[in-house]
């Protein structure tokens, strides 16, 4: 079997035994990327020379001393700087920027034995759930190259689905990690705040003109992989405190890789096709409910239920606008002609927000989280579609309507994802099946506060029952429609 088809977990065993080396893995990836990436455009920036230098330095240590990943290559989303590697944020404003230092998350990963070899494509500043930008162009869905791979972590999802990565990072505010996982039939995990450090690890990691680009009350970074055990492996390598992020949490005693083998299953599960706040494609609703009900075979009760999420638009849209204003105000004032219209809209929306609006939304948020917390006192898990539609044509900038309902802006179709974002609770997108047209559908699984261990365990049990894991990696299915 080709190295490309191995799981990350298998390769860790091979690395520790000496059966393969990090250099072998880099050779396999470089060959695969040369063959596949021209068809999908997922990895526009490669850094194999840096990767091989780091691999050779790591190989001077005994395998047991090489960290959690032991020299396994990892692809990094192009919103997180990597020292000495072109980092663009998908924006022509920064198309030639090369940071002097890495993001905190990258620092932690490399200290745990990760070898960074590529940056993955993203929409400009991660805005919009369709991966295209003026620097590198579109990233295409490998299940049908005429379709969107979603976003904003689309490059990472496509690289995983096509065998150009065993592990990759993503980030998530409005579902930016869960949406592409759903569209590409891979696994994406949004952890609790503080589990993974993020932000500038040192001077020169972020250009001064980005202002507070990393500011967001809801944004996190997280792991992406082809299956749940590999996802847990990467999560273990990403977590922990970093002095560059004072809000990051120290590692606790839990090994999240062990969660997938624990056998824990939920007793009471809630399913909702729409959370009572969004339209949903009927085929997506049917597939995800069928998948959710597999928990009944594992001994759980599955019921229709969801928290009261009725305030989500006011809370999320207001906070998102403030975040974009803080991070990008300088760019709007000095580089407006180089920003895409969706980013301009999000920045300008903040100018309509008053202090009274902020006070109102903060009060709504407190009540929202209280209701969600109480809900998870009754239910172990909340399940729903990860996205409300299957992959859509790539030339569409975003989904404008669903089931006859017109959306008021470019991110409203992501409501089912950011309803969970607002809680701050962990969530995962797990492959749930395929439409009649062969396009992937993802199941969103959510758990209560800091319940990553239980969520990963439950996702692993469901994944084993579904047996969809061998579906990737694939060669791209080239299509004009």
For 5-56, how does the pLDDT look when each residue is reduced to its tens digit (9 = 90+)? 999 999 999 999 999 999 999 999 999 999 999 999 999 999 999 999 999 9
Residues 78/116, Cβ–Cβ less than 8 Å? no
Q: How far apart are CA 71 and CA 114, in angstroms?
A: 5
In a domain, 78, yes or no: yes
Give the CA distances from residue 233 to residues 12, 167, 170, 186, 225, in Å, rounded to whole numbers and listed in that order: 9, 9, 15, 15, 9
Higher pLDDT, 26 or 348: 26
178-209 pLDDT tens trace: 999 999 999 999 999 999 999 888 889 989 87
In a domain, 112, yes or no: yes
Average pLDDT over residues 451-465: 97
Overall number of domains in the chain: 1
In a domain, 36, yes or no: yes
Task: Identify the three-state secondary structure at position 447.
Answer: coil
Direct distance between the N- and C-terminal alpha carbons of the chain, in angstroms, rounded to an integer: 32
In a domain, 328, yes or no: no
Please report, rounded to a whole number, the percentage of residues in the chain having pLDDT higher than 90: 85
Task: Identify the three-state secondary structure at position 227.
Answer: coil
Q: Catalytic residues, which ones?
A: 77, 152, 176
Quote the Cα angle for 447-143-395, to 5°.
Answer: 95
Instruction: Give 333's pLDDT tier (boundaries 50, 70, 90).
Output: confident
The pair of three-digit structure tokens given for residue 160, joined into one six-digit string: 């995983």
Give the per-residue pLDDT at 346: 84
Q: Is the pLDDT of residue 328 over 60?
A: yes
Instruction: Give 254's pLDDT tier (boundaries 50, 70, 90).
Output: confident
How many CB atoms sit inside 10 A of residue 92's CB?
16
Nearest to 458 by CA among 290, 262, 314, 204: 262
Q: How far apart are CA 74 and CA 22, in angstroms?
A: 11
Give the per-residue pLDDT at 201: 85
Q: Is the pLDDT of residue 212 over 70?
A: no
Give the per-residue pLDDT at 235: 98
Q: Is the pLDDT of residue 213 over 80?
A: no
Residues 66/192, Cβ–Cβ less than 8 Å? no
The pair of three-digit structure tokens given for residue 469, joined into one six-digit string: 């894991």
Calculate the CA dihedral of residues 42, 44, 49, 54 and round it to 10 degrees.
-50
In a domain, 327, yes or no: no
Give the per-residue pLDDT at 454: 97
Q: Is the pLDDT of residue 317 over 60?
A: yes
What domain range is 221 assigned to? 3-313+346-471
Give the residues across from 158 on adjacent strands: none
Helix (H) or strand (E) holding 471: none
In a domain, 341, yes or no: no
Q: How far apart are CA 406 and CA 413, in angstroms?
A: 9
Burial 167-188 (b: 16+ CB within 10 A, else e): bbbbbbbbbbbbbbbbbbbbbb
How many CB atoms sit inside 10 A of residue 19's CB?
10
In a domain, 75, yes or no: yes
Residues 306/275, Cβ–Cβ less than 8 Å? yes
Residues 171/222, Cβ–Cβ less than 8 Å? yes
CATH code at 393? 3.90.1300.10
The chain-wide mean pLDDT, for the chain, equals 95
Residues 91/80, Cβ–Cβ less than 8 Å? no
pTM: 0.97
């Amino acid at each position: 079997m080709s190295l490309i088809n191995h799981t990350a977990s298998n390769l860790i065993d091979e690395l520790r035994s000496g059966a393969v080396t990090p250099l072998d893995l880099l050779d396999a990836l470089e060959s695969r990327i040369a063959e596949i990436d021209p068809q999908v455009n997922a990895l526009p920036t490669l850094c194999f020379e840096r990767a091989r230098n780091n691999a050779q330095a790591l190989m001077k240590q005994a395998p047991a001393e090489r960290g959690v990943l032991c020299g396994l290559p990892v692809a990094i989303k192009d919103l997180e700087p990597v020292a000495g590697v072109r980092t663009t944020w998908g924006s022509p404003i920064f198309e030639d920027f090369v940071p002097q230092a890495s993001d905190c998350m990258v620092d932690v990963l490399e200290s745990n034995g990760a070898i960074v070899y590529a940056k993955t494509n993203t929409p400009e500043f991660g805005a919009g759930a369709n991966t295209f930008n003026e620097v590198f162009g579109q990233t295409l869905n490998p299940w049908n190259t005429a379709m969107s791979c979603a976003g904003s972590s689309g490059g990472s999802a496509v690289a995983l689905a096509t065998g150009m990565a065993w592990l990759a990072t993503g980030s998530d505010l409005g579902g930016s990690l869960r949406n592409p996982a759903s569209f590409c039939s891979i696994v994406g995990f949004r952890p609790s705040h503080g589990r993974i450090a993020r932000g500038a690890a040192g001077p020169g990691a972020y250009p001064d003109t980005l202002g507070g680009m990393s500011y967001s009350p809801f944004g996190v970074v997280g792991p992406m992989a082809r299956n749940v055990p590999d996802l847990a492996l990467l999560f273990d390598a990403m977590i922990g405190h970093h002095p560059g992020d004072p809000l990051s949490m120290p590692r606790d005693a839990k090994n999240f890789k062990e969660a997938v083998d624990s056998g824990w299953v939920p007793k009471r599960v809630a399913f909702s096709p729409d959370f009572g706040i969004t339209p949903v494609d009927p085929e997506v609703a049917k597939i995800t409910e069928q998948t959710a009900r597999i928990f009944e075979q594992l001994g759980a009760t599955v019921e229709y239920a969801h928290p009261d999420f009725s305030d989500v638009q006011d809370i999320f849209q207001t906070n998102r606008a403030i975040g974009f204003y803080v991070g990008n105000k300088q760019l709007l004032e000095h580089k407006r002609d180089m920003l895409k219209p969706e980013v301009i809209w999000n920045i300008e929306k903040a100018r309509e927000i008053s202090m009274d609006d902020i006070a109102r939304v903060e009060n709504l948020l407190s009540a929202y989280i209280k209701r969600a917390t109480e809900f998870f006192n009754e239910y172990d898990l909340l399940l729903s579609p990860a996205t409300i539609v299957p992959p859509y044509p790539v030339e569409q900038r975003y989904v404008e309507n669903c089931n006859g309902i017109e959306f008021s802006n470019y991110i409203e179709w992501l409501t089912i994802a950011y309803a969970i974002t607002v809680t701050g609770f962990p969530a995962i997108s797990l492959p749930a099946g395929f439409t009649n047209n062969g396009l992937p559908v993802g199941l969103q699984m959510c758990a209560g506060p800091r319940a990553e261990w239980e969520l990963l365990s439950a996702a692993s049990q469901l994944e084993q029952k579904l047996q969809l894991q061998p579906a990737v990696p694939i060669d791209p299915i080239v299509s004009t429609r």
